[in-house]
Amino acid sequence: MHERRFRPSQMHRLEDPDRLAWLPPAEVLAHLSLQPGYTVADIGAGTGYFTLPIASAVGSAGRVLAVDVSPEMLDRLRARLAEAGLSSVDCVEAEASATTFPAGSCDVALLANVWHEFDDHAAVLDEVRRILRPLGRIALLDWRPDVERHHGPPLEHRIAPDVAAASLTRAGFRLAQPLVLLPYSWLLIGAKEPSRPA
Ligand SMILES: C[S@@+](CC[C@H](N)C(=O)[O-])C[C@H]1O[C@@H](n2cnc3c(N)ncnc32)[C@H](O)[C@@H]1O
């Protein structure tokens, strides 16, 4: 059960400084066009690799809703937020498919390095669509299946970006930008369409 889920015992790997070289948060966030005052859901936030820079980008008028199923990950995230003096982040222990946030309450949702861990992608996308405002954006980032890297998830767990793009379209998102390829990751940005495809 949950054999693809990242183990909290490995959380130090998410904070390895080496990561900054091949997955620079600023480069990823530049594609999200974040504005001061935005509310951003960071789903599968882990220990906050993206949560902290997002909180800086949206400023004190904005809000970050950091969701994770793992209480250990959230404990570590809370400690990092306290150390950084950031108070604009809510840490929420919840399933990605049931965040509990109000409908239409988020401008952007980021799901980074977690897509390959989900059992039910359609259920997660339905929830993201529900919490996004009209024309709100989803950013999906995950491991490339065409590039081997010893400490990433096994190749057979990784999902190709065209398969993820088809899931987005089926769930009522329009691809808002061309696919972005990073050294070991792909990034897709979708915009919430007013209505879902029939
Ligand atoms: C590989 S970590 C990535 C963390 C962070 N996004 C990053 O890139 O550093 C994946 C995280 O997603 C969480 N996760 C996995 N399945 C989830 C689910 N169904 N709902 C919420 N969180 C989930 C795990 O607990 C883990 O903290």
DSSP secondary structure, the chain, as one string: --TTSPPGGGGGGGG-TTHHHHS-HHHHHHTTT--TT-EEEEET-TTTTTHHHHHHHH-TTSEEEEEES-HHHHHHHHHHHHHHT--SEEEEE--TT---PPTT-EEEEEEES-GGG-S-HHHHHHHHHHHEEEEEEEEEEEE-TTS--TTS--GGG---HHHHHHHHHHTTEEE-SPPEE-SSEEEEEEEE-SS---
Predicted local distance difference test score (pLDDT) of residue 151: 75
Predicted local distance difference test score (pLDDT) of residue 173: 97
Question: Ligand 1, from 51, 54, 77, 117: best to mutate by most atoms within 8 Å of Cβ?
Answer: 117
Confidence of residue 134 (pLDDT cuts 50, 70, 90): very high
Mean residue pLDDT of the chain comes to: 95
Environment class of 16 (CB within 10 Å of its CB; exposed 0-12, middle 13-18, buried 19+): exposed
The residue extents of the domains of the chain are: 24-192
Q: Tokens 């495809």 label which residue?
A: 197
Put simply, whether the predicted model's pTM sits higher than 0.95 gets the answer yes
Confidence of residue 137 (pLDDT cuts 50, 70, 90): very high
**Whose C-alpha lies nearest to ligand 1, atom 26?**
46
The reply to whether ligand 1 has any atom less than 6 angstroms from the CB of 118 is yes
For residue 1, is pLDDT > 70?
no
Predicted local distance difference test score (pLDDT) of residue 150: 62
**Minimum mean pLDDT range among 84-93, 109-118, 150-159, 164-173:** 150-159
Structure tokens at 97: 């498919």
pLDDT one-digit tens code per residue, 91-132: 999 999 999 999 999 999 999 999 999 999 999 999 999 999
Structure tokens at 14: 């998410």
**Which CATH class for the 24-192 domain?**
alpha beta
Percentage of the chain exceeding pLDDT 90 = 87
Percentage of the chain exceeding pLDDT 70 = 98
CA distances from 65 to 84, 108, 147 (A): 17, 10, 31
Q: How confident is the model over 171-188, as a mean pLDDT? A: 96
The reply to whether ligand 1 has any atom less than 6 angstroms from the CB of 130 is no
pLDDT one-digit tens code per residue, 44-103: 999 999 999 999 999 999 999 999 999 999 999 999 999 999 999 999 999 999 999 999
Question: Ligand 1, from 20, 50, 69: best to mutate by most atoms within 8 Å of Cβ?
Answer: 69
The reply to whether ligand 1 has any atom less than 6 angstroms from the CB of 115 is no
Q: How many CB atoms lie within 10 A of CB 195?
A: 6
The reply to whether ligand 1 has any atom less than 6 angstroms from the CB of 51 is no
